[in-house]
Structure 1
Amino acid sequence: MKLYYVTGACSLADRIALAEAGIACDFIRVDLHTRTTQDGASFDAVNAKGYVPVLVLDSGEMITENIAILSWIAEQSPGLRPEGPLGWFRLLEATAYISTEIHGGFKPFFHSGSPDEKARAAAEVSKRLGYLAESMTSDFLLGPNLSVADAYLFVMLTWARRNELQIPPRLEAFYQRMISRETVRTALAQEGLEALAA
């Protein structure tokens, strides 16, 4: 199995989730500027969409899009999704919200947005993080146990910190809980991001 990733990108959530699930995987770094993989292959030949993450299963089948990959991981490791009759749907609800409302909100920071665009984006992302903070009633986003949605939220918080956005205290405490996990610290080290654990 292979995961194509970019350092510090949303693919970091998949790396963390795979580690939490105990699923062995090879990780292939992608340079989106040169459109090549670390071994010099064309990334566009791997994924015509042109972005990470991409998970290639041992069968050769490919899964793209973070929500789909995280869902596949949760399917392999049911402990990484909430229990109960609506557990699966709560997971989809959370990952979709993170993807569309928070992840997408960072676009001006990564695509040379103007100062005004970045200010508006910062306000919107902070507001949406506030919603998640208010909705949390336990240590993790969907209850007392970690789910794949927490891995995705953690990466969004690394982006928020990098761009000096306001993080609600409850989510800052969540960030510290995530940092204390060996899987998270190892994933950060594997991508050369040890400073995020400081």
Structure 2
Amino acid sequence: MKLYYSAGACSLSPHIALEEAGLKYEAISAPTKTKQLPDGSDYRKVNPLGYVPYLVLDDGTGLREGPAIVQYIADQAPEKNLAPANGTLARYQLQSWLNFIGTEVHKGFSPLFNPAMPAEAKKLSADRLLERLKWVDGELAGKTWLMGQDFTVADAYLFTVTNWAKPMQLDLAPFANLSAWRERVAARPAVQRAMKAEGLL
């Protein structure tokens, strides 16, 4: 498998999942700004949309969109419990988390990264984002991980996007459960390996 990633972007989530799953893969840098691969070719020839993550399977099939990619990875190593079994209520709860993180948190950061966005719009976006994270903080009360006792691909995704809080000057300190959870995720060896590979540590 080949994972196309951009350092620190949302592709860190499947990068962590691959490390957690212990699968064989090649990570290929596809910077979102330049879209230039290490061999000098245009990343858009691989993924016409030009964004990451993008996973190429051993048979050459491409898979895009982080929440789909991380579930595929989890299903290749079921013994790691990175996702509950397909067809179970717990699997739908995992998908609920992945959708929430993707639409309410990940996309909530987008206006903050946009230099053309007016300050007032950024403030509205930041306030809404902090409301969502306050809710997540409540959901983490008394839990080790988002789904309870098992670390799942949802934890990897939420960790990845909440990493953007600091550069965007969002203070997560008031959220004690979220902050403690982030420390637990950051301490995982697989997370450290993925972050080190992307030059983030």
Task: Please give the range of the TM-score, normalised by the shorter of the 2 chains.
Answer: over 0.9
**Partner deviation per Cα, 1:101-160 (whole Å, 9 max, x = no partner):** 110011112221222122111111111111112122411011111000000010111011
Aligned to 2:148: 143
Give the counterpart of 1:102 among 100, 105, 122.
105
Normalising to structure 1: TM-score of the pair?
Answer: 0.93
Instruction: Report the CA distance between 1:34 and its aligned residue.
Output: 2.6
Map 1:156-195 onto structure 2 (within 5 A).
156-167=161-172, 168-194=175-201
Distance in 2 separating the partners of 1:121 and 1:39: 38
From the two aligned structures, give the one with the greater helix fraction: 1
Q: Structure 2 regions of 5+ residues with no counterpart? A: none
Normalising to structure 2: TM-score of the pair?
Answer: 0.92
Residue pair 1:20, 1:183 contacting (<8 A) in 2 also? yes
State the 4+ residue runs in structure 1 displaced beyond 2 angstroms: 31-35, 82-85
Map 1:1-198 onto structure 2 (within 5 A).
1-78=1-78, 79-82=81-84, 85-112=88-115, 113-136=117-140, 137-167=142-172, 168-194=175-201
**Partner deviation per Cα, 1:41-68 (whole Å, 9 max, x = no partner):** 1111111112000000001001000011
Residue pair 1:108, 1:114 contacting (<8 A) in 2 also? no
Distance in 1 separating the partners of 2:34 and 2:165: 26
Distance in 2 separating the partners of 1:100 and 1:172: 21
Identity of aligned residues (%): 39
AA matched with 1:126:
L
Distance in 2 separating the partners of 1:77 and 1:3: 17
Q: Structure 1 regions of 5+ residues with no counterpart? A: none
Distance in 2 separating the partners of 1:64 and 1:141: 24
Give secondary structure in 2 for the equivalent of 1:38: coil
Residue pair 2:7, 2:31 contacting (<8 A) in 1 also? no
Alignment coverage as a number of residue pairs: 194
Give secondary structure in 1 for the equivalent of 2:55: strand
CA RMSD of aligned residues (A): 1.4
